[in-house]
Amino acid sequence: MKAPGTELLEVMAVEMDIPLWRARLASASGAELEIELERSRCALQSARSLEGGIDYDLDPGMNMIKLSAARQTALAFRPGEVQAWRLTLRNDWQSQRAEWESLWAYRFEYPGNIFVNVDAFAGRVIQRP
């Protein structure tokens, strides 16, 4: 566990030909999270919990809902202990429309390898058939 707000790591990385800044941060209790930004535009690429509890909030901007609101939605859908979370751009095949759909989603992990996905703009649970 690191001191609150301490930047643990700032790394330049490349994933799928996209240059990224990767930063690891610590909350007041020492919980750690990682944020990835596209270097050229400083645009969010992903964010996720690493260690410790989830005693912090995250406002990703871009008209997305905050982590706390998404977590509340997930817990209302499936009560329990959220062990980890991730915010990423998802690409899903929509067979009804025969097209790819891209959307930002929070993914909350529960014990037993159970996941709840929440649309980061609409704030609703995403259920897949």
pLDDT in tens, 31-63: 999 998 888 888 888 999 998 889 899 999 989
Check residues 92 and 60 and name the one with the higher pLDDT.
Answer: 60
The reported pTM is 0.82
Average confidence score pLDDT of the chain? 84
Distance separating alpha carbons of residues 103 and 123, to the nearest angstrom: 12
Q: Counting every residue, how long is the chain?
A: 129
pLDDT at 14 over 90: no
pLDDT of 99: 62
Range 68-84 average pLDDT: 97
Scored b (16 or more CB within 10 A) or e, 59-81 reads: ebeeebbbbebbbebbeeeeeee
User: What amino acid is encoded at 112 in this protein?
Assistant: G
Residue 8's pLDDT is what?
Answer: 45
